[in-house]
Amino acid sequence: MQDHAAAISHSGDLGRVLARRERRFAAALLAPAFVALLATTTFPLLFLIGTSTFRMDLAMPFADGFVGLENYRTLLADDRFWSSLLISLVYTASTVVLQVALGLALALLVMDMKRGQGWFRVIAILPVVLSPAVVGMIWRTFMLAPEFGIVDYLAINAGLGSKNWLGDPTLAMVSVIIIHTWQWTPFAFMVLLASLASLPEDIYEAARLDRASAWQRFRRITLPLLRPAIVMVVIMRTMVALTAFAAIFTVTGGGPGTATEILNLYAYRKSFTELSIGYGSALAVALLVVTILISGVLFALRRAK
Amino acid sequence: MSGRGQVRFEDIVKMHGEFAALKGVTFDIEPGEFFALLGPSGSGKSTTLRILAGLDAPSAGRVFIDGQDITAADARDRDIAMVFQSYALYPHMTVYENIAFPLEMAKMPKAEIVPAVQEAARKVAIEHLLQRKPGQLSGGQQQRCALARAIVRKARLFLLDEPLSNLDAKLRLETRTELKKLQRSLGVTAVYVTHDQEEAMTLADRMAVFMAGEIQQIGRPADVFARPNSIDVAAFIGSPPMNLIPARYRGGYVEIAGHRLETSLKEAGERDVVVGIRPGAVRIVTDGIPAVVDLVEDLGDTAILDLDCSGISIRARVSDGNVPREGAALSITARAADIHVFDATTRRRL
């Protein structure tokens, strides 16, 4: 009996030792990635938040110093901040809606393709693998350049006349939205196509026998079943669109004037053109807060059902 | 209800590229009948059902329902309800919403949908599960939900594609009897696809036996069992399957293992045949074909004997009263009426 008890306590000890060893090994495996993450994300973030509480003006270094929340007070009263935030929201909302709508339409179309589905997927994925900066350059030169760009050429032939695509404030905004949509719709398309392909065929047959029309099958069956995938795409694309930078920077640089100046670009211009690094940091923190709030809402919506 | 749900299949052919899934299938189903399509996997029975439902189009031939040519009609316009093998429940809808779906599509007023759904759910005893999602149901409950969705609409034709194959053995037996009662009480025409001959035998008023894309035999289950018209049907119907023994026919008699057995076939001449004897028709006698018991499978109330008759193996079913031991020597025979004779080359019944 005693032996038995001893054996149990012994096996308990052994279990603890093994568990400790396992934990140590796991920690050792985790450490490099964890340290790298701390160094490249957490530390810069904290540094950014710290900087935002200083006046740090490279043009007037003599005035530098700790100002507490002064930058944020300025920011709340800054019309250009509010206008860039609005542009960011318009840009994000329109690109995400367009991506999901077009991506879903393409996915539904391709699902019904009997042949060439593979080729279509390969071609569709190409824009995603391009760097946004390259995409911006291509659109600025090949597509939107007056007279010579493909889009302008088509507009002239369609009788609309040559347009100053990147010089007109409204057209410039439309252009950057189209560029972002063009590049990232394939992502939504691929995710939704995969999700569509995983839906069982027989429930559609059941719905046909239940006398549902094509539209009713889409509304009542496809959409609800795709909902998780759609919400995921919306969350991922929203976070990226809010922090978009390279394509707009290369195409319009935020212009004309501030017509396409999203919050990210405003923070960049403030920091590196006007060299007002403290205030630029405050703008970047504001963008961070906005992004966290919006994704928080989206994740809550995702959990809601 | 009479006169509704009459089906006619006329020379239906279905090609998948070079492969003929159906090679000219013709049959009629009477209103109110429980009609089974029986056959092994790949014999074309499910294809037949899908063509009837309008989910697949035939390559040739015509389909009529109630005298109306519906070959080109969409599944939506055929007024047919179906229970799928996989049940095909809408996973994002509750049981209630699943059952209500066909009624909503038919634009039935909400006030009428609620009692109709409850009535259908009550008939299959799932009225306590209406708020659950299909993922929260057991296999048997899902199957009932699919049944309720099919009967709620009072369609003129009720199709069932192996509806019991995903249930465990006990539940299958229970559901089988309920299904039959349900069909009787609704008085609706039912077409039932199965590979399980026992299901077809117990459920169907009439059945069509499919083999390799063709109908081998149509008839009442008892008739098909009693007089299979080919070797393939004989081998497929009955459990354990019929003993099929190559033999020589001579003027009313067949010769097995050197012994003559009288047949009900009275035809002059001599030819090679295949003799079919159901295990239950094998009788143990004092003077007959000598046999040695190789193996005894005791099923409780009956036992199946594997017999060796000088190289020919024959299975016999005996009641538990007098089960011989393994290794025992005995002799067997069969009544003339129980001996089926088939042509060895055409494989048809003689």
Cross-chain Cβ contact A225/B149 below 8 Å: no
Q: Are residues B117 and B229 in the same domain?
A: yes
Phi, psi of B97 (to 5 degrees): -65, -35
Contacts of B92 in chain A (CB under 8 A): 221, 224-225, 227
User: CA–CA separation, A286 vs A34, rounded Å?
Assistant: 26
Q: Are residues B328 and B191 in the same domain?
A: no
On whether the CB atoms of residues B78 and B70 are closer than 8 A, the answer is yes
Cross-chain Cβ contact B88/A225 below 8 Å: no
Residue B55 Cα, gap to closest chain A Cα (Å): 7
- Of B217, B235, B253, the one marking the end of a domain is B235
Contacts of A200 in chain B (CB under 8 A): 86, 88
Q: Are residues B214 and B325 in the same domain?
A: no
Q: Rounded to two decimals, what is the model's pTM?
A: 0.79
- Of B235, B250, B274, the one marking the end of a domain is B235
Kindly give the interhelix angle for A169-197 and A79-111, rounded to the nearest 10 degrees: 40
Residue A1 has pLDDT above 70, yes or no: no
Read off the DSSP letter of residue A270.
Answer: I
Q: What is the CATH number of the domain that holds B69?
A: 3.40.50.300
Q: Are residues B75 and B143 in the same domain?
A: yes
Cross-chain Cβ contact A209/B91 below 8 Å: no
On whether the CB atoms of residues B346 and B271 are closer than 8 A, the answer is no
Mean pLDDT, residues A61-87 taken together: 87
Residue B348 counted as domain residue: no
CA A105 distance to own-chain centroid: 20
Interface residue B90 vs chain A (CB under 8 A): yes
Specify the pLDDT at position B2.
45
What superfamily in CATH does domain A80-303 come from?
Answer: MetI-like (1.10.3720.10)
Residue A238 Cα, gap to closest chain B Cα (Å): 26
On whether the CB atoms of residues B153 and B185 are closer than 8 A, the answer is no
Residue B350 counted as domain residue: no
Residue A246 Cα, gap to closest chain B Cα (Å): 40
Residue B119 counted as domain residue: yes
Q: Which long-range contacts (CB under 8 A, 24 or more apart) does B301-309 make?
A: B304/B240, B304/B279, B307/B282, B307/B332, B309/B256, B309/B257
Instruction: Kindly indicate the confidence band of residue A7, based on its pLDDT and cuts at 50, 70 and 90.
Output: low
User: CA–CA separation, A55 vs A250, rounded Å?
Assistant: 29
Q: Are residues B155 and B206 in the same domain?
A: yes
Contacts of A224 in chain B (CB under 8 A): 92
Contacts of A206 in chain B (CB under 8 A): 82, 84, 88-90, 149
Cα distances (Å, whole numbers) of residue A33 to A27, A30, A42, A232, B297 = 10, 6, 13, 26, 65
Query: What is the chain A residue with the closest CA to B150?
Result: A210
Cross-chain Cβ contact A208/B106 below 8 Å: no
Residue A220 Cα, gap to closest chain B Cα (Å): 9
The overall longest dimension of chain A from CA atoms, in Å, is 99
Q: Sheet containing B302-309: which strands, arranged edge to edge?
A: B283-285, B329-333, B289-298, B302-309, B312-319
Specify the pLDDT at position B114.
93
Residue A130 has pLDDT above 60, yes or no: yes
Instruction: Kindly indicate the confidence band of residue A9, based on its pLDDT and cuts at 50, 70 and 90.
Output: low
Query: What is the chain A residue with the closest CA to B52?
Result: A209
Question: Residue A182 in 3-state DSSP?
Answer: helix
Peptide bond into B40 cis (omega under 30): no
User: CA–CA separation, B342 vs B344, rounded Å?
Assistant: 6
| Residue the block writes with tokens 């493909």 | A150
Q: Are residues B171 and B257 in the same domain?
A: no
User: What ipTM does this complex have?
Assistant: 0.83
Q: Are residues B216 and B325 in the same domain?
A: no
Range of the domain at B74: 7-235
Contacts of A220 in chain B (CB under 8 A): 90, 101
Mean pLDDT, residues A17-35 taken together: 93
Amino acid code (one letter) for A297: V
Interface residue B105 vs chain A (CB under 8 A): yes
Q: Are residues B131 and B262 in the same domain?
A: no
Residue B348 Cα, gap to closest chain A Cα (Å): 38
Q: Are residues B127 and B257 in the same domain?
A: no
Q: Are residues B34 and B96 in the same domain?
A: yes
User: CA–CA separation, B173 vs B175, rounded Å?
Assistant: 6
| Residue the block writes with tokens 């007959």 | B288
Question: Residue A203 in 3-state DSSP?
Answer: helix
Residue A5 has pLDDT above 60, yes or no: no
Q: Are residues B313 and B164 in the same domain?
A: no
Interface residue B74 vs chain A (CB under 8 A): yes
Specify the pLDDT at position A177.
93
Residue B1 counted as domain residue: no
Nearest to A210 among B74, B86, B102 (CB): B102
Contacts of B105 in chain A (CB under 8 A): 210-213, 216
Mean pLDDT, residues A267-287 taken together: 91
Q: Are residues B305 and B164 in the same domain?
A: no
HSE, CB side, 13 Å, CA atoms: give it for residue B115.
3
E strands of chain A, at which residues? 54-55, 65-66
Residue B294 counted as domain residue: yes
Per-residue model confidence as pLDDT tens digits over A220-238: 999 999 998 999 999 999 9
Interface residue B106 vs chain A (CB under 8 A): yes
User: CA–CA separation, A71 vs A196, rounded Å?
Assistant: 48
Q: Please, what is the average pLDDT of chain A?
A: 88
Residue B11 Cα, gap to closest chain A Cα (Å): 24
Cross-chain Cβ contact A208/B82 below 8 Å: no
Mean pLDDT per 10-residue segment, chain B (350 residues): 78 91 92 92 91 92 92 90 92 94 92 93 90 92 92 90 87 87 89 91 92 92 92 89 90 85 85 91 88 89 89 88 85 90 90
Query: What is the chain B residue with the closest CA to A206?
Result: B88
Interface residue B57 vs chain A (CB under 8 A): no
Residue B2 counted as domain residue: no
Interface of A with B (CB under 8 A): 200, 202-203, 205-213, 216, 220-221, 224-225, 227
| Residue the block writes with tokens 């035998």 | B201
User: CA–CA separation, B292 vs B57, rounded Å?
Assistant: 54
Per-residue model confidence as pLDDT tens digits over A162-199: 888 888 888 899 999 999 999 999 999 999 999 999 99
Interface residue B82 vs chain A (CB under 8 A): yes
Contacts of B80 in chain A (CB under 8 A): 209
Specify the pLDDT at position A305.
60
- Of B235, B268, B294, the one marking the end of a domain is B235
| Counted domains in chain B | 2
Instruction: Kindly indicate the confidence band of residue A10, based on its pLDDT and cuts at 50, 70 and 90.
Output: low
